Structure 1
């Protein structure tokens, strides 16, 4: 047998990891998402330990959501103007400090709901800054033909850490030692994100295509105009906003109480349900990152997200853990697979100098009803009960999706801009340019 001396070709799903700079970015993401997964369970049982219930959890979760929304739009402008590395370092510092303060106050018995809400607000502020900076940095660290693999890999990391490992570890820690040590674990994971962010390359801001937007407010107007005049972007974001209004609050706030009150579970059972959601999400993301984008990619995304909400009705009807766990797997698969397509779509069709702002608008518009949904979920369930709330969360998105597909007229656009072609950019759309070095860093921005 003859050998060529060439290294074996890596599987498509993990190929982006050969770029050293992207490995630092993936490490930053992994630690941040792990911290978030730990926080989800630690927060629930910290609220319970302070004598709170669904309403108090809604308020604290709503504070985090408000923090995200307050900084999401400025975060996009910042991401397109300054080094994304600097933003990610700042974010990790803020998150680490906020959670460490909660851990210390909890362990000394001095923690109250107000302090917990303030920490949640700080974490949300950091999250609003992180998302656009992270999204703008990805295409600069890997070649364009590996972006779908990146989104698939990250789609595996997110549910595996956010919904599986993080909640599982937090559930064990809470059950064994209480919420304070679980909060300390969140702080350790956030510190890990800080260490990885420091290792990222120092890149300048992307060169602008024009001098049209000379001020931060002008930057924001430029991004907003692009969103409004780009039909596929606007329709998808409006659909996501409406879906999140009816789904996110029940998912984030009421699932632990469905597990607790209907299935008789505790921290371990709650962590198990989240882990099953993570398992489904990892599976869906891996599959989506390993195949070609669907020809009708916009239609496929909205249809999968709409149908993916249906299993939520199980949390309002079942009185045992097994159906809830199976429903969580189904939701995870159908929520995360289209998310891989969406991330790739943004990175390949949005001009590079607008990507930070468009990512922040994506974050802001699609999550604009997040604090409302979280704040209403607890009080509405207290009046109407868990079952009606979960029925609406599971079935209303079918109608919302049908309206989006019927009125949005996305078919001509997705046919005119095939994403499985060698050059998917259509008229007026810009692809990332510039050769990459062995570390995957665009030479045009170094």
Structure 2
């Protein structure tokens, strides 16, 4: 389990990711509760959170093209440094004046845009510094800190900071952690560096690179099917989880929402550990969609019993099964996508998966303003399960879908007629 940690560059990547995830964990609590603290309602919370997602979407595709052209450690460092500086500036502003909602939305968009570059950069850099046989363990270690820091300790620190000192100091904590992330990222020295891009090609080559990523995904059934499922599932789940939960359980007390998120994070850590130690399943796609389905069903309980205790247990189960499935998916992507396309394909994966999330957050805010909450959680818990059966049926039509080898063999995916990049 610890073998990748013997690798110097993985240690720095892991430390950078840990600091970034801790920052994001505080941010996910601070942003909606700060917006509510300023007197804005659920619709505004949905808009602000949605702007963060739009920022992520806006940067994913161009970020993916940059990842296959420039050193990933440099991109990692800048994508952490920029939000760190911006958030410290906003923190100072919050101490002297009331921040208008559109400024919060713009801040969220900047943080989201940088996250849209950082996440795929981290995911695509891992195979360049960790041996192939250790990839699954490396993914599990990264998923472990994601679960503990992003989903547990980060929200706990955010809730405690807001309760004791207010939202502005919480923003300062986020900003400092992002700067620490940038410092760790600069210490990584991967074995592979992309050749310098052809500057004479200009933007045309960038769009060509982005197109290559889309074409690869479109011709690889197991990728586009999973991405489409994720997009539709998050359309139904992103709003209830990121807007409804803090509004319903966080308006009265930041501690209640933080408690729910801490339980979610700890259970996610357990799921990551189970995935790292479990025997690799023969039917990895069946196991993948089964895990994601089991990670959706508990949301139904919140629809019928919207109490803190039920929400805490339900979100813990969501975290447990989703973390297990996500580790499987990351390993499949890293082993099944060629090195020279991994950055772009990973970005298309992220882009497609979260493309409908801004709609989800805004619509959820509008529904809550009209008193509609339970229906949101009911749909979030049931429809993705039905879609998972359909998605697996599509993949299973290929004779290789149940194969342990050929389903992710890059040599058996359709080749691209690439002219640049």
Could you state the TM-score of these two structures normalised by the residue count of structure 2?
0.92
The one of 84, 90, 105 equivalent to 2:72 is 84
Q: Deviations over 1:139-169 (max 9, x none)?
A: 1111000000011111111111111111111
Aligned twin of 1:226: 216
Gaps (5+ residues) in structure 2?
A: 197-202, 415-421
Question: Residues 260, 100 of structure 1: CA spacing in aligned structure 2 closer, same or farther, 3 A cutoff?
Answer: closer
SS of the residue corresponding to residue 68 of structure 2 reads helix
Gaps (5+ residues) in structure 1?
A: 1-12, 431-446
Displacement of 1:411 in angstroms is: 5.7
* 1:196 partnered with 2:187: no
* 1:135 partnered with 2:100: no
Aligned twin of 1:436: none
Aligned twin of 2:325: 338
* 1:285 partnered with 2:272: yes
Question: Any conservation in 2 of the 1:173–1:179 contact (CA below 8 Å)?
Answer: yes
CA distance in 2, matches of 1:332, 1:182: 24
Question: Residues 349, 321 of structure 1: CA spacing in aligned structure 2 closer, same or farther, 3 A cutoff?
Answer: same
SS of the residue corresponding to residue 40 of structure 2 reads coil
Question: Any conservation in 2 of the 1:35–1:189 contact (CA below 8 Å)?
Answer: yes
Q: Deviations over 1:18-71 (max 9, x none)?
A: 101111111111111110100111112211121012111111111110010011
Aligned twin of 2:409: 425
Question: Any conservation in 2 of the 1:84–1:137 contact (CA below 8 Å)?
Answer: yes
CA distance in 2, matches of 1:426, 1:120: 37
Aligned twin of 2:334: 347
Q: Deviations over 1:168-188 (max 9, x none)?
A: 111111111111111111111
Displacement of 1:412 in angstroms is: 2.3
Matches for 1:223-372 after TM superposition, within 5 Å: 223-260=213-250, 265-372=252-359
Question: Any conservation in 1 of the 2:69–2:195 contact (CA below 8 Å)?
Answer: no
Aligned twin of 2:419: none
* 1:75 partnered with 2:63: yes
Question: Any conservation in 2 of the 1:152–1:288 contact (CA below 8 Å)?
Answer: yes
Question: Any conservation in 1 of the 2:129–2:190 contact (CA below 8 Å)?
Answer: no
Displacement of 1:426 in angstroms is: 5.6
The one of 49, 56, 62 equivalent to 2:44 is 56
Question: Any conservation in 1 of the 2:219–2:413 contact (CA below 8 Å)?
Answer: no
The one of 122, 139, 143 equivalent to 1:151 is 139
Question: Residues 244, 194 of structure 1: CA spacing in aligned structure 2 closer, same or farther, 3 A cutoff?
Answer: same
Question: Any conservation in 1 of the 2:16–2:180 contact (CA below 8 Å)?
Answer: yes
Question: Residues 168, 74 of structure 1: CA spacing in aligned structure 2 closer, same or farther, 3 A cutoff?
Answer: same
CA distance in 1, matches of 2:371, 2:221: 37
Could you state the TM-score of these two structures normalised by the residue count of structure 1?
0.87
* 1:42 partnered with 2:30: yes
Q: Deviations over 1:288-315 (max 9, x none)?
A: 0122321111121112112211111222
Displacement of 1:408 in angstroms is: 3.7
* 1:392 partnered with 2:382: no
Question: Residues 410, 199 of structure 1: CA spacing in aligned structure 2 closer, same or farther, 3 A cutoff?
Answer: farther
CA distance in 2, matches of 1:295, 1:410: 17
CA distance in 1, matches of 2:337, 2:410: 10
Across the aligned residues of Structure 1 and Structure 2, the Cα RMSD in angstroms comes to: 2.2
Displacement of 1:336 in angstroms is: 0.8
Aligned twin of 2:206: 216
Q: Deviations over 1:384-423 (max 9, x none)?
A: 5111111111111111112212334356223344389xxx
Of stretches 199-208 and 330-339 in structure 1, the one that deviates more from structure 2 is 199-208
CA distance in 2, matches of 1:223, 1:386: 38
Displacement of 1:353 in angstroms is: 0.4
Aligned twin of 1:112: 100
Of stretches 95-104 and 266-275 in structure 1, the one that deviates more from structure 2 is 95-104
Q: Deviations over 1:350-388 (max 9, x none)?
A: 100000001000000111101111111110222251111
Displacement of 1:78 in angstroms is: 0.4
The one of 157, 162, 166 equivalent to 1:169 is 157
Aligned twin of 2:417: none
CA distance in 2, matches of 1:343, 1:313: 27
SS of the residue corresponding to residue 275 of structure 1 reads helix
CA distance in 1, matches of 2:389, 2:266: 28
Matches for 1:94-113 after TM superposition, within 5 Å: 94-113=82-101
CA distance in 2, matches of 1:386, 1:188: 36
Question: Residues 289, 400 of structure 1: CA spacing in aligned structure 2 closer, same or farther, 3 A cutoff?
Answer: same
The one of 404, 407, 410 equivalent to 2:391 is 404
* 1:66 partnered with 2:68: no
CA distance in 1, matches of 2:190, 2:270: 34
